């Protein structure tokens, strides 16, 4: 039989680093006054899709969950707990941001508010489902405590749109890639949550489409040299963060039969390609130099992680980290300086 709820332990949130899933807030007044009328038709069409609520009945735990997971060894258990916690935190962070936005924009910008409200509904389901899965390992995340204790990063609305568009699309590609891999290699589907990813990722895809439609209503964010600089910046930030995170957790990916670096490169290539339908420029991710430089960042990041594990005083640790941080920044600047791929010529929709 499954976990006895009364025995659940509340898990303390993992210590925050630059690479842990972040919580965001924005300028609600600026968002209220955002004029999205130039693309309202597409936005209304996506709201209709949200309203249908295709996944209303999807997130129901079936009998497969009703077994003991104590058969996992300690290492696999802690890898799974970390995966579930990070995923739950990321989904919950989306829920909080979208919920706050829908609440604040309700009067002044009802169309946008409605979109955020539907998306917060979906993210709450995703976070809840993941938190329930943590209970299979006798743990639960205190989401109320997380809401109060986390630091919030401020992003201007336009940056929220670039960042959330990309994180939704990369989320889609991550979930569908894991799902397809496990469909072909069922011997690695060692825990039932992965079979839910096929319909789940469609939620993320629709969220990404919503942000794409909002971005299209602001042509200045998708045209001109400044927008190109920002598009490249956000593509690189999202890709590098994922790559550094996942290479640190290659054992988890190995436990479901995936090579973390190959998996990430596939997700990066696909997300980059999808973004080319919206962004005027994308990164040349298939140029071997791109991966070579990312791998140099990984080597330096491994040194940062090793320093964190030492017993040194914290200011000594900070000093020890400086050369490695500089190396990471330098390699990221080199990637950023690589010639991008102009995607505007491939756009088949004129807006």
d(CA 281, CA 229): 9
Closest to 230 in 3D by CA, of 242, 244, 218, 243: 218
In the 8-state DSSP scheme, what is residue 20? Answer: S
Is the distance from CB of 79 to CB of 249 less than 8 angstroms? yes
Shortest Cβ 315–Fe ion spacing (Å): 39
Binding residues for Fe ion, per CB under 5 A? 91, 123, 126, 168, 204, 207
Q: What's the min distance (Å) between Cβ of 44 and Fe ion?
A: 20
The CA radius of gyration of the chain, in Å to the nearest whole number, is 21
Q: Which residues of 302-330 are buried (b: 16+ CB within 10 A; e: fewer)?
A: ebbeebeeeeeeeeeeeebbeebeebbee
Helical axes 157-184 vs 224-248, angle rounded to 10°: 40
d(CA 54, CA 253): 29
Within 10 Å of residue 116's Cβ, how many Cβ atoms? 23
C-alpha 304/C-alpha 300 separation (Å) is 7
The Cβ of residue 183 has, within 10 Å, a number of other Cβ atoms equal to: 13
As a whole number of angstroms, the longest Cα–Cα distance in the chain is: 59
**From CA 271, how far away is CA 172, in angstroms rounded?**
9
Rounded-to-integer distance, Cα 162 and Cα 158, Å: 7
Secondary structure of residue 107 in the 3-state scheme: coil
Q: Could you give the dihedral angle defined by the CA atoms of residues 169, 170, 175 and 177, in that order, rounded to the nearest 10 degrees? A: 110
CA distance 332 to 293: 7
Q: Tell the smallest beta-carbon distance from residue 163 to Fe ion (Å).
A: 12
Question: CB of 137 within 8 A of CB of 69?
Answer: yes
């Amino acid at each position: 039989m499954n976990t006895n709820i009364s025995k659940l332990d509340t898990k303390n949130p993992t210590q925050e680093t630059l690479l842990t899933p972040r919580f965001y807030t924005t300028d609600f007044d600026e968002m209220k006054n955002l004029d999205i009328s130039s693309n309202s038709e597409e936005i209304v069409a996506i709201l209709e899709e949200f309203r249908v609520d295709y996944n209303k009945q999807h997130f129901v735990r079936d009998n497969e969950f009703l077994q003991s997971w104590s058969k996992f060894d300690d290492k696999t258990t802690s890898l799974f707990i970390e995966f579930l916690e990070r995923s739950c935190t990321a989904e919950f962070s989306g829920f909080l941001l979208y919920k706050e936005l829908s609440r604040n924009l309700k009067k002044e910008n009802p169309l946008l508010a409605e979109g955020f409200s539907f998306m917060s509904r979906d993210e709450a389901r995703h976070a809840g489902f993941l938190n329930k899965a943590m209970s299979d390992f006798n743990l639960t995340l205190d989401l109320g405590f997380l809401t109060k204790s986390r630091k919030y990063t401020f992003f201007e609305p336009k940056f929220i749109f670039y960042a959330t568009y990309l994180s939704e699309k990369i989320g889609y590609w991550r979930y569908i890639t894991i799902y397809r891999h496990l469909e072909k290699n069922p011997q690695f589907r060692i825990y039932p949550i992965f079979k839910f990813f096929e319909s789940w990722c469609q939620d993320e895809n629709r969220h990404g489409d919503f942000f794409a439609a909002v971005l299209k209503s602001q042509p200045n964010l998708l045209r001109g040299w400044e927008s190109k600089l920002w598009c490249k910046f956000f593509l690189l930030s999202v890709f590098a963060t994922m790559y550094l995170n996942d290479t640190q957790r290659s054992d988890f990916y190995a436990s479901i039969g995936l090579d973390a670096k190959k998996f990430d490169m596939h997700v990066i290539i696909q997300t980059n390609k999808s973004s080319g339908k919206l962004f005027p420029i994308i990164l040349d991710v298939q140029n071997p130099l791109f991966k070579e430089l990312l791998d140099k960042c990984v080597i330096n990041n491994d040194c940062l992680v090793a320093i964190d594990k030492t017993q040194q005083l914290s200011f000594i640790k900070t000093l020890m980290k400086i050369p490695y941080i500089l190396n990471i920044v330098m390699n990221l600047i080199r990637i950023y300086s690589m010639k991008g791929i102009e995607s505007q010529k491939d756009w088949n929709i004129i807006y």
